[in-house]
Every structure is written in C-alpha cells, then in structure tokens.
C-alpha cells in the first residue's frame, strides 16, 4: 500500500511529529544528521526500554481514566511507541483505549481535552466541507471512522465529545490488524446535541444547539460523503454510534454506492454470530435449530438477527422460517404483529403471537436456546430469567453484550452462579475469570474488535469497492474457527486477545477471498493472498531516519 512520504523534518519539528518521532531512541547518527543534538538528553534509549518506562508510569496511575490520558498523550507524541506498548500488552490496554474506559473518557472529554485528533466537521460548515477536508495533511487515507455522537456505546448523546470513539476504533484498526496509522482518519460530525448537561457545560467543545434533523441533516451527510469520495477516493468509511433513526437508513442509502459499513449493525452481528457458532461446538446441533430471544431491537439486535437468518438459510431454512426463530423484546414488550408502534426495522421480526410485557414472560413462553442482550439496560437478565434459561437448556447461551461494563445485562459471575455453572456466557466488555464450585470459567468478550479490524484490513488490502454481508459472515465463521478446544474447555468462546493479530490476518484473508469471489476487489489477485495481506500490516518498529 502506498503511503505518503513527506520530506523528513528536522530538529524540534521532527520531535513534534508523532509518526516520525523516536524520542530518546534516536541514534547518535540520527541526532547529528537531523539537528537533534542538544534537544535530547545524552542516553540513547532503545524502544524496548521506552516501553518499560511507559509501563512503569502506567501502573502508577491511580485509575483507568488517568491511564487513558497517559496513553492518548503518548499517541500524540510517538505513535510507534504507543502501538508497541498496546500490542505487547493488549489485555491491559484494550479496556483502557476502548471499552469500557473510552466511555468514561467521552463523558469527560471536554474536561480532559488536550489536543485535537482527527477532524471535527460541523453543521456550521455546510457548503464548505470539501474545502475543510483539504486541511487534512495526508492524502492516502484508507480507513475513516465517523460518528455524529448521538448514541455513544450505551451512554447516549455525547455530541462532539464522542470523538473518543473514532479515535479508539482506529487505534484498534492499527493495533489489532496492522492498518498503518498514517492512513487512518477519525471524524466527528458535530450536528449539535440534545444533551442538556453538555449544553450547560462551560467546557463543552461542540455546538451548543439542538441536533440537526430531517432534510437539513440528510443534506449535510450527503455533502460529507460526496466530499470524502472526492478527497479520499480509496477510503473505507465506517459509520459508528449513529442513533437508530439514522443508522439503518444511512447504511442502506450508501452501502451500494461507496465502500462502507456500520459496525454497530454489521460488526456486532458478526462477532455475535461467531460466538454462537463457537457455542454450538459445546452444545451440539446446528444454527438452524436455535431459537434466539433478543432484549433490545435497535441496530445491534436487528443486525445480529439478519446475519443469523443468513446463516440459517445457508443450512436449508427459508428466510421466513429463519426469521420465525428470532424474537425481540423492546422497551414496550415482545415485538408482535398486533402492535401498532413498531419502527420499520422491527417489522420483519414481528410475529403472530400474543403480546407480552416483559422479558421473563417472553422467556417462559418462547423457551429460547440463546438470550442476547443489546439493550443498554443493566441488570435486566435477572436471576429468575437465567434460572429459567438453565431449566430449558443444558447449556444456555447468555450473551450480555451491552457496553460499557456498567450497562451489561448481567455479570459473568451471575450467569455462571445462577445457571449452576452451565451457562455459555459472553459480554461486550471484559469480565475477570470466575471461580465456581472448584472450576475456573473464563468468560468470552464478544467485542467488535475481533471483527472490524480484520474486515478493514481485508477490504483495504484488495481495495474492495463495497463491503457486503457475505464478508461479515465469512469473518464470523473464521473467528469461530480460531477458537481452540482449550479455549472451549474453559468456557471461552472467543480466542484470547493475545492472538488478535493472527485472528485479524485470518479474517482479512477470508474477507479478501469474498471480495474476489464477488468481483469487488480492484487489486489483481496475487499468487499468495496471505503474503499480500501481510505486506499491508504495519509493525511499529523505529525505521532509521539517518
């Protein structure tokens, strides 16, 4: 992949360039040639020692938000070192640079703001977005994550403070799949906020006006998409944390026009379906034999169900038969045909069934094999509900996927305890291993970071014109294949995070295969596809600048 190769700056300017700065690791030769003598202390400190110093400071920090601030500061100064630290300590770093800590960071973003990352494009810029995008200093952008900040994790409307999400997601594109940071661009579309706390906060960084809606919003998005296509014609655009009222329709509007996907819809679907495939290795049976009950009928739930339906159709069911195995409970009860308040995206899953007001009643009536929480409502998988699931299933699937941790429908300990150790549990945010009756259970984290970095790598490596549902199904199956028998024996239905680069490579190759099969790749097929994808994986080692 071609990358911008600007003239290497010298002196203080070089030390202020996070992509090129090596800090105290600059060699004597580099210091002499690049005008760094006197600007650095005497000792030349190799990268591995720099990592040790960062980790020493990391462990000194009193809480996770302070650790987040430390790491973002490092990313602003020295990206190679930042990614080396993250990659070598992925278990420790993932919960800090992404969920759950990134949620707290977004809530407090205006108060911990240090320097801008990415681009803030506002409703005030309407008519001038193309010119504003010209201000980005690099031309070869391959991956954009964009949010309008309306539905940040399970936290709601955070407006411009939602920028922590695109920044965090693209950090994972690089750390987990090796997409070069110079080719990534986080963008926040600041179209106002309806969050009164932010509007009244003197430090809030965004527009203090109600959110743009209707035709004006659509025109703004259209101008943005058109300008991105002109400025960065090879970029993959990932929609992130848009509200339901916009997420589905924007995906449908643009998915066949540009290279795009919505991670909340398709990424969440893929990682969850992977978890179900892994769980079936423990329970036996096929996907088409399962009955799933979802708590929450928004982007994540409908996206998961749509991909589940595709998998069941592959196994021989009709689409109608497959949809009949997916049930939803929303804030007003079971989604059934007799209801007159259903949003358009819920209608395909509205069954001819008696109305039910709560989840427990629905569980008792439907007797699902899997319970999937994507509601953003904490502690809604009660003891009685989990006990009922364990009564109906030898190994019930309990997926409490809402983020951050505080929003999980139940904890890992609750799921294992209430099911007498028989639940197959997954969550969106990490939970520690659980000891129960002398056995250690390692809960799986159904985090989208297992999926979207690999999908992004596969799409960008072959310059695919579009991102398809078949790519996400291939990613799900590949991820499930990466789970070992040892993992399953511990109750873990996802591979360990330490293997994430290997997992992302496998997913990228699978996605690239689909791109070639569907004639969407614009790069001629290489003789060795694995080797080709590997050439696109950045390794954060210092390259000599002398």
- Domains by residue range for the chain, with CATH: 46-258 (3.40.50.10380), 266-448 (3.40.50.720)
- In the chain, the percentage of residues whose pLDDT exceeds 90 is 96
Tens digits of residue pLDDT in 13-37: 999 999 999 999 999 999 999 999 9
Cα–chain-centroid distance for residue 272?
13
Using 50, 70 and 90 to split pLDDT, how confident is the model at 154?
confident
Output the average pLDDT for the chain. Answer: 96
For the entire predicted model, the pTM comes to: 0.95
For residue 63, give the nearest of 110, 118, 115, 108 by alpha carbon: 108
- Which of the four pLDDT bands, split at 50, 70 and 90, describes residue 46? very high
Alpha carbons 454 and 509: distance in angstroms, whole number:
8
Q: What pLDDT band is residue 546 in, cutting at 50, 70 and 90?
A: confident
- Is residue 395 a contact partner of residue 282, using CB atoms and an 8 Å limit? yes
Structure tokens at 191: 């179209």
| pLDDT score, position 403 | 87
Q: List, for residues 177-226, the tens digit of each pLDDT value.
A: 999 999 999 999 999 999 999 999 999 999 999 999 999 999 999 999 99
**Using one digit for the tens of pLDDT, what is the confidence trace for 463-488?**
999 999 999 999 999 999 999 999 99
Residue-level length of the chain: 546
* Between 5 and 349, residue with greater pLDDT: 349
Q: How far apart are CA 370 and CA 387, in angstroms?
A: 13
Mean pLDDT of all residues in 335-347: 95
Output the pLDDT for position 2. Answer: 44
In the block, tokens 């072959």 appear at: 462
CA distance linking residue 204 with residue 108, whole number of Å = 9
pLDDT reading at 3 higher than 70: no
Spatial CB neighbours of 217, under 8 Å, sequence gap ≥ 6: 191, 211, 246
355 and 339 in contact (C-beta within 8 Å)?
yes
Structure confidence by residue, pLDDT tens digits, 67-110: 999 999 999 999 999 999 999 999 999 999 998 899 999 999 99
The answer for residues whose C-beta is within 8 angstroms of residue 342's C-beta and 6 or more apart is 335, 350
Q: What is the structure's pLDDT at 1?
A: 45
SS3 label, residue 227: helix
Q: What is the spatial distance between Cα 522 and Cα 321, in angstroms, rounded to a whole number? A: 37
**The pLDDT value given to residue 6:** 59
Give the DSSP H/E element, type plus range, for residue 238. strand 236-239
Count of other CB atoms within 10 angstroms of residue 396: 25
Residue 467, CA atoms < 13 Å, CB-side half-sphere? 33
**CA 3 to each of CA 115, 172, 184, 262, 342: distance values in angstroms, whole numbers, following the listed order:** 24, 19, 11, 26, 47
Under 8 Å CB-to-CB from 397, ≥6 apart: which residues?
Answer: 275, 276, 279, 283, 369, 370, 371, 372, 423, 424, 426
* 353 closest CA partner among 371, 370, 340, 334: 334
Residue 330 pairs with which residues in a beta bridge? 333
pLDDT of residue 364: 98
The dihedral through the CA atoms of 540, 136, 112, 41 has a sign that is positive
Please identify every residue annotated as catalytic: 98, 169
| Residue located via tokens 């490596």 | 461
Going by DSSP bridges, is the β-strand pair 326-330/333-334 parallel, antiparallel, or unpaired? Answer: antiparallel
**In whole angstroms, what is the distance from residue 405 CA to residue 99 CA?**
8
pLDDT at 404: 84
Instruction: Compute the radius of gyration of the chain from its Cα atoms.
Output: 23
DSSP labels, 485-541: HHHHHTT--S--GGGHHHHHHHHHHHHHHHHHHTT---SPPPS-HHHHHHTT----P
pLDDT in tens, 387-405: 999 999 999 999 999 988 8
Which DSSP category does 164 fall into? H
Query: Half-sphere exposure (CA, 13 Å, Cβ side) for 133?
Result: 25
Q: Is the dihedral of CA 51, 56, 59, 65 positive or negative?
A: negative
The rounded percent of the chain whose pLDDT value lies above 70 is 99
Tens digit of each residue's pLDDT (9 = 90 or more) over 500-537: 999 999 999 999 999 999 999 999 999 999 999 999 99
Secondary structure of 265-313 in HEC code, one letter for each residue: HHHHHHHHHHHHHHHHHHHCCCHHHCCEEEECCCHHHHHHHHHHHHHHH
Average of per-residue pLDDT across 299-308: 96
Largest CA distance in the chain: 79
- Residue 5's pLDDT is 53
**CB contact burial 135-156 (16+ within 10 A = b; e otherwise):** eeeeeebbbbbbbbbbbbbbbb
Burial of 440 (0-12, 13-18, 19+ CB in 10 A): exposed
């Amino acid at each position: 992949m071609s990358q911008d190769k600007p003239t290497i700056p010298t002196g203080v300017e070089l030390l202020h360039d996070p992509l090129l700065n090596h800090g105290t690791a600059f060699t004597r030769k580099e210091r002499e040639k690049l005008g760094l003598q006197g600007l650095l202390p005497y000792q030349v400190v190799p990268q591995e020692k720099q990592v040790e110093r960062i980790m020493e400071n990391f462990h000194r920090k009193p809480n996770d938000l302070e650790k987040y601030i430390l790491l973002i500061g490092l990313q602003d100064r020295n990206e190679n070192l930042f990614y080396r630290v993250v990659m070598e300590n992925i278990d420790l770093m993932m919960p800090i640079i992404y969920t759950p800590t990134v949620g707290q960071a977004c809530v407090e973003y205006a108060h911990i703001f240090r320097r801008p990352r990415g681009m803030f494009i506002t409703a005030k810029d309407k008519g001038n977005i193309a010119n504003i995008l010209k201000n980005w200093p690099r031309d070869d952008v391959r991956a954009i994550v964009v949010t309008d900040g309306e539905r940040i994790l399970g936290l709601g409307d955070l407006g411009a403070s939602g920028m922590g999400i695109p920044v965090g997601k693209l950090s994972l594109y690089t750390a987990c799949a090796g997409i070069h940071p110079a080719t990534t661009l986080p963008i926040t579309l600041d179209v106002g906020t309806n969050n009164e706390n932010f509007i009244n906060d003197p430090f809030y960084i965004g527009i203090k006006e109600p959110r743009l809606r209707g035709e004006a919003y659509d025109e703004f998005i259209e101008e943005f998409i058109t300008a991105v296509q002109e400025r960065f014609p090879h970029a993959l655009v990932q929609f992130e944390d848009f509200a339901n009222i916009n997420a589905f329709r924007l995906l449908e509007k643009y998915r066949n026009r540009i290279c795009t996907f919505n991670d909340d819809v398709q990424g969440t679907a893929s990682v969850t379906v992977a978890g179900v495939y892994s769980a079936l290795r423990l329970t036996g049976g096929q996907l088409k034999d399962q009955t799933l009950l979802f708590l929450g009928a928004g982007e994540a739930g409908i996206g998961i169900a749509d991909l589940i339906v595709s998998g069941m159709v592959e196994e021989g069911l009709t689409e109608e038969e497959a949809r009949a195995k997916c049930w939803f409970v929303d804030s007003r009860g079971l989604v059934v045909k007799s209801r007159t308040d259903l949003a358009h995206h819920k209608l395909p899953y509205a069954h001819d069934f008696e109305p039910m007001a709560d989840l427990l009643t629905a569980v008792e009536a439907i007797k699902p094999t899997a319970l999937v929480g994507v509601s953003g409502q904490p502690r809604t998988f009660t003891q009685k509900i989990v006990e009922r699931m364990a009564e109906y299933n030898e190994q019930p699937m309990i997926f409490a996927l809402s983020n951050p941790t505080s929003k999980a429908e139940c904890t890992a300990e609750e799921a294992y305890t209430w099911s007498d150790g028989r639940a197959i549990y997954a969550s969106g945010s990490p939970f520690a291993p659980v000891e129960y009756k002398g056995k250690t259970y390692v809960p799986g984290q159904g985090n989208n970071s297992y999926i979207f970095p690999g999908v992004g790598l596969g799409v960008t490596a072959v310059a695919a014109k579009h991102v398809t549902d078949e790519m996400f199904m291939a990613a799900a199956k590949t991820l499930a294949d990466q789970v070992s028998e040892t993992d399953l024996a511990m109750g873990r239905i996802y591979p360990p995070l330490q293997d994430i680069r290997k997992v992302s490579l496998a997913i990228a190759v699978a996605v690239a295969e689909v791109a070639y099969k569907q004639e969407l790749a614009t790069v001629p097929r290489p003789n060795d596809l694995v080797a080709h994808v590997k050439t696109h994986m950045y390794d954060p080692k210092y390259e000599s600048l002398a």
